[in-house]
């Protein structure tokens, strides 16, 4: 699905959500996709039962869909949380417990990109304390991911929808990824470039692409405003993807948008002309 150097992956945490999780890969395949991505599918459980992991793995295999990006445990998502790795105490421990599980699942499915959401600021905790914990946990995740030939992604979210999330600019996320690379020496921590979040945050997208396209390890799209499919808002998504391609990015582009009233299967019409 897609043309040129861009390959599109359906985000199964936002699309086909009217179906049980294990039926979504087949729905994506029926719509013409061979690749999917997921938030951590068990938001309350960083270490789910092995049978649930196996069931999802089999659903992906039986549908002929490859998992190309997966979030680490990120707390209640969707919900009030925006990650766990910088949150001291139990949430940080849950993130670390999830790392081997998520990396193992990625290895078994051929997934090579793992998104590590940074986490919200916590009242009463100095930002420097959270940032030090984040660097420690990201380095831990990067070392584990390296053993599976995968990269760890750091994402910037928009401050409008995530006001307590500290990484709200592309440069913030790129700087954190660089610190992780310096700490590990592995160079496998990359920038997750979500064009929707960056647009809502007020960034100039052509400038972001030109400056940081070379650091992108994964890209996600939705139109803005509204977080709908391309063509429902004001972004020139095809033009932005073309610009990204000229930076040398040839990886996956995740469709992380709300499908609208017509349902998921009818939200892909924009791809016919792309």
| Sign for the pseudo-dihedral over CA of 217, 266, 77, 234 | positive
Reading the block at residue 271, the tokens are 């791809």
Q: In angstroms, what CA-CA distances link 231 with 83, 172, 189, 256?
A: 30, 29, 32, 14
Question: Are the C-beta atoms of residues 173 and 162 closer than 8 Å to each other?
Answer: no
| Number of C-beta neighbours around residue 58 at 10 A | 12
Question: Are the C-beta atoms of residues 156 and 169 closer than 8 Å to each other?
Answer: yes
Rounded CA-CA distance 118/162 in Å is 12
| Number of C-beta neighbours around residue 188 at 10 A | 21
Task: Name the residues annotated as catalytic.
Answer: 155, 256
Rounded CA-CA distance 38/67 in Å is 8
| 3-class DSSP assignment, residue 132 | helix
The number of helix segments (H) and strand segments (E) in the chain equals 8, 8
Rounded CA-CA distance 49/192 in Å is 29
Question: Closest Cα partner for 157 from 206, 192, 205, 181?
Answer: 192
Those residues whose C-beta lies under 8 Å from the C-beta of residue 40, and which sit 6 or more positions away, are: 46, 70, 71, 72, 73, 74, 77, 98, 102
């Amino acid at each position: 699905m897609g043309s040129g150097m861009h390959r599109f992956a359906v985000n199964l945490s936002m699309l086909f959500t009217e179906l049980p999780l294990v039926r979504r890969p087949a729905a994506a395949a029926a719509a013409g996709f061979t690749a999917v991505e997921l938030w951590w599918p068990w938001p309350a459980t960083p270490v789910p039962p092995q049978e649930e992991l196996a069931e999802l793995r089999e659903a992906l295999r039986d549908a002929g869909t490859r998992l190309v990006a997966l979030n680490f445990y990120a707390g209640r998502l969707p919900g009030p949380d925006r990650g766990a790795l910088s949150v001291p105490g139990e949430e940080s421990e849950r993130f670390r417990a999830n790392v081997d599980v998520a990396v193992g699942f990625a290895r078994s499915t051929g997934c090579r990109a793992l998104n590590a959401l940074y986490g919200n600021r916590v009242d009463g905790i100095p930002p420097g304390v959270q940032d030090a914990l984040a660097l420690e946990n990201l380095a831990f995740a990067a070392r584990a991911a390296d053993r599976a030939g995968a990269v760890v992604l750091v994402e910037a979210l928009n401050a409008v929808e995530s006001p307590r999330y500290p990484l709200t600019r592309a440069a913030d996320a790129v700087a954190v990824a660089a610190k992780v690379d310096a700490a590990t020496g592995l160079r496998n921590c990359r920038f997750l470039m979500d064009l929707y979040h960056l647009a809502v945050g007020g960034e100039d997208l052509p400038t972001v692409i030109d400056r940081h396209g070379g650091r992108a390890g994964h890209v996600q799209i939705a139109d803005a405003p509204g977080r709908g499919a391309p063509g429902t808002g004001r972004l020139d998504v095809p033009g932005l993807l073309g610009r990204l391609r000229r930076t040398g990015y040839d990886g996956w582009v995740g469709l992380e948008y709300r499908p609208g009233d017509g349902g998921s299967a009818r939200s892909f019409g924009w791809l016919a002309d792309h």
